[in-house]
Amino acid sequence: MHISLRIPRLSSLVESYTCRVFLVFLIPYALIVYFARLTCWRDPTSLFFREDEAYEPSYSSLRAAQGIALIEEANNLTEVLRFKASPNPTMCVGLTSVVREGVSYFQSAVGSVLAGLSPVERADLFLILFIAHTDPMQHPAYSEPWLHELADKVLLYDEKDIDVDHIRSLETAEAKTLALEKGLLDYTYLLKACTAIGTPYTVMLEDDIISLDGWYHRTKQALRAVERQTVEKKASKWLYLRLFYTENFLGWNSEEWPIYLFYSLLSASTILLTTLSVRRYRLSLKPFLPSETVFVLSFVCTPLLIILFFAAGRVTMLPIPEGVHEMPKFGCCSQGLVFPQGRIMDLVSWYESKGIGYVDMLTEDYANQNGEIRWVLIPSVLQHVGSKSSKTNIPVTHKGLRTLPQRLWNFGFEKNDVNILHKEHEQQMRWGG
């Protein structure tokens, strides 16, 4: 079978039937582009991303207010807040806090973790709040009633467990310019404290996060799913469950360009072969598919649709389904990680052998070297709200641009609805899910 596809001249296209077909195509195409502008603005991997609006803390502001309200009640020593962990909690929740210059996220972080928890849920958590200063009075929260009212344990440096003089040397202005050592040391110290409680899981949170209403039951359901899928994979262990991630690292990856090119060529070839086959075997339709029209459909319209597909963004077009999934790459950062009890001391040994470095990077290095399974909970149950890092060596960006801490953002988190989450949480508490 010999099929020839004649490439038309531009002058003949302008006043042709093919030109009218193309104009008809442009109408729905323009509508799709308009729809993409309306729906893809939260997707940082999209050409239609609107940065100023996407970084607006819509839900997280409301949730932070709920957390602050709980803190204020605790400061007034309201009796109803006097809930503590049961003798056999499931999770140890640890937060480390240091004073940040000019800002404080600690209250809203702790408040959002606890706000809305039922007495049964609260009893399932052993909450350790670590004031990471050799002089705890340097942290304003240490002298406030809520800290001691809400925590199951307020952790301080103990000379029996750690070289306090060395810690004190890391608190100098000179040492703070390289905060990697103290940050890792504090993380390790809190991990050990949680391990000593003996809970099956340890939830490590940073002090500049916001937890959504219902984070506890979603995390508990996710842990059951992780254990089930780990068994199905015939794996003996897993390293962590990630509770926070940013979509900024989930875009079209340059190393995958051969895959993108293959499917793009496959799409264009499919349209070309389909139209040529229709012309040959459906003679009644042949007048509607002249060579010029076939050319435009295959090599103009189809590429335009492919371009729009990529412009809409990977998070929009190829979203990760809700639930628990493996995330061996592109996970960031250490805002919220859940570790099974049996893996913590291995990690502690790894951290102590390194002595310096970012927790998230060292954890990924350990996982990569040991072939560890890493899980992520989709959608994120945490938001990172810290615009000022506890690590003073974060470089300052140019005026008008967001700093690195400000770009650690989960855009989907802000789509949460307060009422919907509250109803979901009530239902879970009612049915014990």
| Residues 6 or more apart whose Cβ sits within 8 Å of residue 206 | 95, 96, 109, 334, 335, 336, 384, 386, 390
Give the pLDDT of residue 399. Answer: 47
Mapping DSSP onto H, E and C, the string for the chain reads CCCCCCCCCHHHHHCCHHHHHHHHHHHHHHHHHHHHHHHCCCCCCCCCCCHHHHCCCHHHHHHHHHHHHHHHHHHCCCHHHCCCCCCCCCEEEEEEECCECCECCHHHHHHHHHCCCCHHHHHCEEEEEEECCCCHHHCHHHHCHHHHHHCCEEECCCCCCCCHHHHHHHCCHHHHCCCHHHHHHHHHHHHHHHHHHCCCEEEEEECCEEECCCHHHHHHHHHHHHHHHHHHCCCCCCCEEECCCCHHHCCCCHHHHHHHHHHHHHHHHHHHHHHHHHHHHCHHHHHHCCHHHHHHHHHHHHHHHHHHHHHHCHHHHCCCCCEEEECCCCCCCCCEEEEEHHHHHHHHHHHHHHCCCCHHHHHHHHHHHHCCCEEEEECCCEEECCCCCCCCCCCCCCCCCCCHHHHCCCHHHHHCCHHHHHHHHHHHHHHCC
In the chain, CATH 3.90.550.10 covers 60-245+330-431
The class (CATH top level) of 60-245+330-431 is alpha beta
pTM score over 0.95: no
Please state the φ and ψ torsions of residue 278, each to the nearest 5 degrees.
-65, -40
pLDDT score, position 17: 80
Per-residue pLDDT of the chain (433 residues; tens, 9 = 90+): 455 555 555 555 455 788 888 889 999 999 999 999 999 999 999 999 999 899 999 999 999 999 999 999 998 875 555 678 999 999 999 999 999 877 789 999 999 999 999 999 999 999 999 999 999 999 999 999 999 999 999 999 998 888 888 999 888 766 665 567 899 999 999 999 999 999 999 999 999 999 999 999 999 999 999 999 998 888 778 999 999 999 998 889 888 889 999 999 999 999 888 888 887 777 767 777 788 888 888 899 999 999 999 999 999 999 999 999 999 887 788 899 999 999 999 999 999 999 888 999 999 999 999 989 999 999 999 999 976 555 554 444 444 566 767 788 999 999 999 999 999 999 988 876 5
| pLDDT for residue 397 | 47
pLDDT at 316: 95
The predicted pLDDT at position 341 comes to 95
